[in-house]
Structure 1
């Protein structure tokens, strides 16, 4: 028989309805916390030199004039060198925070481009956010002191410039082409290790086609006034460059336009336009001039010209002054280093055969090619090096000075003038002055006597003119002329005197005709008045033989 089974009775406790209310409240609270946390965006830290105009809980962060965050805390850094601003961003701004994102404070500013940020006078300053395109996220940012020139994705071209120390180019300065602003300086940075200034330029679209591999950049000083061997020059850039400076660029006259520049290309920033033009001549021949004349007025960068055409540049005056002179020279000349730049005769991008040019110059030395110093500006006394052919020159023997080839020289224009003046003074010293002075004294005595006679004649003329009879002479002449006129009027064709004179002349003519036979007879026989006139014999015919 089976064992008797016993059922165990357990008491089951049921949940009281009263706990439903706290449970729902907890769930609602958790949901509210989750919802509140999900609505909060990321927190970022902004680094600024000073927090002028920034207030915790009030200053907004905007992009495209839409609020995307608010400043929560403003404090000093641990080292007290800058201000740290903690801001809470909206969730939609999370994708904007990357390595290329930029922040700056919008407040009233007065700059070269005018007045900006006037809307913040009443509303207060705010922080502007410019989103970046980088995939690397970031939560600590440096706030820019000035607004950026252009967004990172703005169409155009960005290039890098390297310049010497001392230029005044800053962020925001204009970049001009032929006086028209085509871009801006985005960033300027000094590299202490390389000791050079580095600038990043933004050329806005569609002007990026103006920048090619042959383009040269130089500093635009606004107003450039020069007085040198090439004359007086005034160059005025744009008004903005005149106030704050800037950068301008162009292609040299003899160079081709070249290929369009690539993004991030590197260029050299020259001090001025002349330096930019000279910087393209990378192939050159160096020569030393041993100048016997004074080099006062000759300065570096002075032109080397051949019959008015520039073919080179003066590099140093003097150059290696303490180096020993060649043994073939008996004078102590001033060495001047020059460069002959064959690229000036054609496209600067073409390859130049320097050995061939050196042979050409040596042949020209044999035909009388010489260098001399000439005045380029009489007002300033600036000199330049002139190359020309001279006849009757001493044959030149090739020589070197401090391992540099010597370019043959001849006396300059000033030295020639000085020599001519010296020769003239020598001739004047050789002249016999005493005979010339004696002759000059005699001439002066004769001249004095002549002047005395002239004075006497003038005195006589004055006395004659002062005589009252001389004063009456015009009246007497007038009376005589009047009487002569009356007399001539009596012989007019219709006057009685004229008729009587005509009759008298007619009688006289008749009388002369009557007298002519008598005169002819007396001419043939003067005694015809006493003796009878001889009659001519009759002619007798001749007998026949």
Structure 2
């Protein structure tokens, strides 16, 4: 009998269908995690001085009113000096996060430009993102306190201004040209090392062509009232500048337009328009005036004029007052530093030869050019320096004062008047008053006698007029005139007397004609009344021989 066959048991490994469900769930969860992670954008950190209106999980980050992120966390920094905001950005915003990107909080604001951000009153504040154009990425950003004036890639011109401390210019102030706003101040900060203010200006397109190499910038103070030696001036800027100030610019009169300004060019910000005009005269000659008269009313910035034309500026009054003065001076004078600016005569602003101008002035000193102080405004008493030629000027000996050449001076207008009055008083003191008084007394005595005679004549005339005969004289004259008129009326052409007179004259004329032969006979023969008239023969002409 054969052995029975025994079955062999072998274990078989197989996956139970029950595991299919958790595996599928695991795959779905992994895909969902991957999908969520792939849709998440980068995380950035925003630095703010004050997190007012920012709430974690609610405050949005927008650009062009499209949501590109959300604030996830708001906390204080470790040093407690600022707030740190962690925000999750969308994937599409990843390319926007670079060095030029700007963030600021949009909320209701009231400024010189008007009211903005009213839409956030109900919806709440949000963070605005302005994309940049840089290729370098960045994860930590400083949030701006004010919205930027213009995007970094905006068309226009950006320049830098440097000014002294004291100009009240802040971000957002207008930049005007002849009263029209053409730009804004993008940034203002103080440099403590150089002790000066630095401003960055944005000039919007197409007004960047107005900024050239000869352009001058100055502060627009709104209302500028000035009363000095040149008169009374009032300047009123735009209403916006009147409220908060601003910057204006232009090309000085008689100056060339210059070349187009380049991006990032540096300019100086002057305090006012007059300072901006004076700032273009960079080449000058410095002189010291040793003034013997009073300098009350003469202030720095006063004009130096030659016959009414400005050729320079007063720099300092007084200047090095305690420095030793030349021995040739007889009195302790007040030094005044002035500048002669030859560029005022040249509108092209080209370089001038200062040595040649100094030689020219030296020759003019020899011909009597002198400086004096004159009143420019009688109301304020402001003075200016007047240059003119004086024929009787004392010869000038060239000298220096603290290494500056001395400009020859002469007495000013008031000093000359005072000197003339003093000379007049000296002449009056030298006059011989006693002989003049004696002569005057004699004249007065003669005048008194003459007046006595005049009074006597007046008394006689009064007595004559008071006589009754004198009062009847007009009536007698009238009577005589009436009689004369009656007599003349008797000889009128239609009167009897006139007719008789005419007949008598006719008879007389006839008688005269009758007497003419008798008169001729008596002329020829006086004895014709006694003897007969002798007849003479007619004369016979002689015969020719």
Q: Which residue of 2 aligns with 1:352?
A: 352
Residues 435-454 of structure 1 aligned to structure 2 (within 5 Å): 435=436, 438=441
Residue 360 of structure 1 deviates from its aligned partner by 1.8
Alignment size in residue pairs: 530
Deviation per CA, 1:421-460, whole angstroms, max 9, x where unpaired?
1112223334456646647866986898799899999999
Deviation per CA, 1:223-264, whole angstroms, max 9, x where unpaired?
222121222222222222222111112223343222212111
Residue 196 of structure 1 deviates from its aligned partner by 0.7
Q: Distance in 2 between matches of 1:373 and 1:367?
A: 20
Q: Which residue of 1 aligns with 2:3?
A: none
Residue 539 of structure 1 deviates from its aligned partner by 6.4
Q: Which residue of 2 aligns with 1:363?
A: 363
Unaligned ranges ≥5, structure 2: 1-5
- Bigger Cα displacement from structure 2, 190-199 vs 247-256: 247-256
* 1:66 paired to 2:66: yes
Q: Which residue of 2 aligns with 1:187?
A: 187
Alpha-carbon spacing, 1:457–1:34, altered in 2? closer, same or farther (3 Å): farther
Alpha-carbon spacing, 1:412–1:50, altered in 2? closer, same or farther (3 Å): same
Q: Which residue of 1 aligns with 2:20?
A: 20
Deviation per CA, 1:353-378, whole angstroms, max 9, x where unpaired?
22222222222222222222222222
Q: Which residue of 2 aligns with 1:3?
A: none
Alpha-carbon spacing, 1:491–1:164, altered in 2? closer, same or farther (3 Å): same
Q: Which residue of 2 aligns with 1:400?
A: 400
Alpha-carbon spacing, 1:258–1:535, altered in 2? closer, same or farther (3 Å): same
* 1:374 paired to 2:364: no
Residue 522 of structure 1 deviates from its aligned partner by 8.4
* 1:161 paired to 2:149: no
Q: Distance in 1 between matches of 2:357 and 2:74?
A: 71
Deviation per CA, 1:374-402, whole angstroms, max 9, x where unpaired?
22222222222222222132222221111
* 1:258 paired to 2:254: no
Q: Distance in 2 between matches of 1:455 and 1:21?
A: 158
- Bigger Cα displacement from structure 2, 23-32 vs 166-175: 23-32
Q: Is the 8 A contact 1:59 1:126 kept in 2?
A: yes
Alpha-carbon spacing, 1:411–1:514, altered in 2? closer, same or farther (3 Å): same
Deviation per CA, 1:320-353, whole angstroms, max 9, x where unpaired?
1111111222221111111222222215642222
Q: Distance in 1 between matches of 2:100 and 2:446?
A: 100
Q: Which residue of 1 aligns with 2:247?
A: 247
- Bigger Cα displacement from structure 2, 510-519 vs 372-381: 510-519
Unaligned ranges ≥5, structure 1: 1-5
Q: Is the 8 A contact 1:75 1:85 kept in 2?
A: yes
Q: Which residue of 2 aligns with 1:235?
A: 235
Alpha-carbon spacing, 1:507–1:174, altered in 2? closer, same or farther (3 Å): farther
Q: Which residue of 1 aligns with 2:216?
A: 216
Computed over aligned residues only, the root mean square deviation of the Cα atoms, in angstroms, reads 4.0
Alpha-carbon spacing, 1:523–1:540, altered in 2? closer, same or farther (3 Å): closer
Residue 155 of structure 1 deviates from its aligned partner by 0.5
Q: Which residue of 2 aligns with 1:146?
A: 146
Structure 2-normalised TM-score?
A: 0.84
* 1:123 paired to 2:110: no
Q: Distance in 1 between matches of 2:122 and 2:431?
A: 95
Q: Distance in 1 between matches of 2:342 and 2:71?
A: 65
Alpha-carbon spacing, 1:301–1:457, altered in 2? closer, same or farther (3 Å): farther
Q: Distance in 2 between matches of 1:451 and 1:235?
A: 72
Q: Is the 8 A contact 1:326 1:401 kept in 2?
A: yes
Q: Distance in 2 between matches of 1:145 and 1:14?
A: 68
Structure 1-normalised TM-score?
A: 0.84
Alpha-carbon spacing, 1:113–1:539, altered in 2? closer, same or farther (3 Å): same
- 3-state SS of 2:36 partner: helix
Residue 206 of structure 1 deviates from its aligned partner by 1.3
Q: Distance in 2 between matches of 1:86 and 1:302?
A: 60
- Bigger Cα displacement from structure 2, 201-210 vs 75-84: 75-84
Q: Which residue of 1 aligns with 2:269?
A: 269
* 1:175 paired to 2:175: yes
Alpha-carbon spacing, 1:204–1:540, altered in 2? closer, same or farther (3 Å): closer
